[in-house]
Amino acid sequence: MRATEQHIRALLRIVAAVLFVWAMPAHALIPPLTNAYYVDQHTFLGLTSPRTGYHSTNVDACSEWMDIAQGTWSGYPTRDGVVGGGNYGTCRISTVGGSSVYKVISRASSVCPANSTAVSGGCQCNAGYAEQGGQCVASQCNSTIGKTIEITSTTGWTRTPNDNDFNWIGGGPEYSFGKTLCEAGCGYEVGYDVVDASISQTPNAQGLYRNSTTYKATGNGAACTLGPEDANNPAAPEPDCPGYVGEVGGVAGCYGTAQKPVDTVSVPRSDGTPRAGNPPSGKVPDQDVGKSPGERTPSTGNGGNAGGPSGAAQGGRGGGAGGASSGTGNTNKPGEGEEQEACGAPGQPECTVKINEKGTPGDPKNKQLEDGVNELKQAQQDALNNAENTAKGWFSGWGFGFSLPSGCTPLDMDGYEFSVNFCRWQSVIHDIMSIVWLMVTAWACIGMVGRTVRGGS
């Protein structure tokens, strides 16, 4: 039941995230300009001046147009400004002799600012521009447009460092496919090109092993801010062990009990077979591009999002991550069809990893506890033996064999001077009862098998 609830929670989180992303715009919206004045493009003597920007007054719009016009048509030094004509005036430049160039001023009731595009709900700055004071100005990220980098982000957490461990803590893996990640204040769009995947071979303080994925991402020129919980943030919070944290041989692990189980979600990986390593979250430095996850793993660290330590890249067999699916290894393999003995068994090598047994019942310090447990076990066994002997006495004359009577005599009905004779149907009754017994037996067997199957699922 807990696994089912975890799957439902994970599905609801995914649906909520999709709706949130769908509902919010890709970039911040800015309101459109209302009653904005401008001067449209103008052609005169074979030359054309471009349209001005939008302004709050006709005087400001005319001032911009006169700057443009005097640069387009030489010989018109006089700036007459706004003169009569038109609904909002006419803008004019002229010569001393009276020749002039002029254009009617226009007004837009609602229009998006320069370098922006109208979208549902407002205006959105074009690529390479960022909102500043209600205007779209050139973004500091213009130089990143079309630039491809490699970004590492945390995928999820498991309880083992094995590459075939698909049991995830906290709702399953979260990939960055199709998302925009923020690096150094600029947005990078992640496609579906995976560089590599990795698993730390050193657990963090919660006994969990970090899984990470490195992607290729392309800059979109948009300014952004790295979120505190973003997957590519080295300082992002790490999940707690849902059970309790213990140690085996000095190595932290995440364990569960019946009262506090460790629930996981089983989901196959979508980023390929990972290798041993724990590179830090964030942009891969240019000098580290092309290196393996192990080579990019810092020498220091605690097994978390910030990467490292060096031991995080030194696990598994054949240079891969832990688990049976990596490398070839070297074990005492039995003959074909024979069962593999566990390490430490007769004829098998000594186990390379030993559990720290200090403080367990075998320790002399706990001899009194061990004796008490043994006495309790013996008392339980004696009680079971007594119950068994008593039951045998009660049911000694019982049996479960099925047989039908072979003899038959008519049934006298005392007091009524007649008898009922069933003997002529004895063979038919025997056949019917045999069929009933067979059907009851078959029904009981099918019922036991059904309960066993349902209980196992």
pLDDT band at 7; cut points 50, 70, 90: very low
- Which residue in this structure is represented by tokens 């074909």? 336
The better pLDDT of the pair 18, 53 is held by: 53
pLDDT for 208 beyond 90: yes
Judge if the upstream peptide bond of residue 203 is cis by omega within 30 degrees of 0: no
Q: What is the pLDDT of residue 151?
A: 98
Looking at residue 313, its pLDDT comes to 95
The domain spans of the chain are 34-111, 113-141, 145-313
Least confident of 133-147, 174-188, 220-234, 383-397: 383-397
pLDDT value of residue 422: 66
- Decide: residue 142, CB within 10 A, 0-12 exposed, 13-18 middle, 19+ buried: middle
- 281 vs 132 pLDDT, higher one: 281
Q: Which two tokens stand for residue 435?
A: 């069929």
* Residue carrying structure tokens 């019917």: 432
Select from 348, 265, 280 the least CA-distant residue to 312. Answer: 280
Give the Cα separation of 123 and 126 in Å (integer): 9
**CA distances, 89 to each of 34, 99, 100, 104, 283 (Å):** 18, 19, 15, 6, 55
This model's pTM is above 0.75:
no
Check whether 27 has a pLDDT greater than 90: no
Whether the CB-CB separation of 300 and 168 falls below 8 Å is answered with: no
d(CA 248, CA 199): 20
Task: Check residue 127 and give its pLDDT.
Answer: 78
What does the pLDDT look like over 364-384, one tens digit per residue? Answer: 545 666 676 677 678 778 777
pLDDT of residue 4: 46
Q: What is the pLDDT of residues 108-120, one digit of tens each?
A: 999 998 889 999 9
Q: What is the pLDDT of residues 322-343, one digit of tens each?
A: 654 333 333 344 444 444 444 4
Quote the pLDDT of residue 35: 93
Mean pLDDT score, 443-449:
86
Residue 219: is its pLDDT beyond 90?
A: yes
Q: Which two tokens stand for residue 426?
A: 């004895």
